[in-house]
Copies of this chain bind each other. A is one copy, B any other.
Amino acid sequence: MVRGDDFDVIGFDADDTLWRSEDFFAEAEVMFSEVVGPYAPEGIDVLDSLHAIELDNVPISGYGVKAFALSMVQAAVTATGGTVPAQVIGDLVDYAHEMLMHPVELLDGVPEALAAVGRTHRLVLMTKGDLVHQTRKVRTSGLEHHFAHIQIMLEKDVENYRRILDEWSIDPRRFLMVGNSVRSDILPILELGGAGVHVPYHLTWGHEVVHEPGDGFAELESLRDLPTWLASPSV
């Protein structure tokens, strides 16, 4: 018996699992620092201000580019004591809109891996983030046809996973979730009796608690390795 026989359905996270996401936020922070920094008084770290405002805003505006853009505007005004020119703020918003329209950049081996595992398993996509932006990315990625169901979730917690798997008539004990975040993609599914494969990404959001790979889930270097892992003997 091979590992793949243990599962009927495989769920995939999207950002930093199927395509690049965190890189674009990191690039935006460099830009923010360059254009806003010169207007801040000496001794002010504009990125510290941005990070603190982002964290404060999560319960109000959630994750995603639009929430990030509003936090950039607030941080630009706050960290410069209101001295930043309006045009610079306009540029920040334009930059965010470009992020929303940026072409999807798939990670290494993703289309091949989905095609391979899609021959033996039903695939679903379960991703956090902004409804408009995630929908655009799914549609334009060329990957949409691989997935029987696509759900954009507000929070990836046990209760939400349970509700959605139930709606899709998926038995969690026959479900494998693949993603780059142990906290969001793996641990809730383990709690529901399912299995997880962690595919770490080189960047992790600053506010995400980093877990060590532990018992109960596997870790792969690349999504490219998933078909081979599924075809390996079950232990």
Contacts and interface: CB of A to CB of B under 8 A. Distances in A.
Which of A66, A74, A100, A101 has the most B CB atoms < 10 Å from its CB?
A: A66
Contact of A80 (B69, B76, B86, B96): B86
Interface stretch (A19-27, A114-122, A130-138, A206-214): A130-138
Contact of A89 (B89, B97, B135): B89
A42 interface: no
Interface of chain A: mostly helix, strand, loop or mixed: helix
Contact of A70 (B78, B84, B85, B93): B93
How many copies of this chain does the complex contain?
2
B84 A86 contact: yes
A99 to B, nearest CB: 10
A66 B70 contact: yes
Interface stretch (A57-65, A103-111, A181-189, A223-231): A57-65
B61 A132 contact: yes
A132 B90 contact: no
A101 to B, nearest CB: 6
A82 B86 contact: yes
Nearest to A74: B93
Given A70-B66, A167-B149, A61 B100 contact: yes
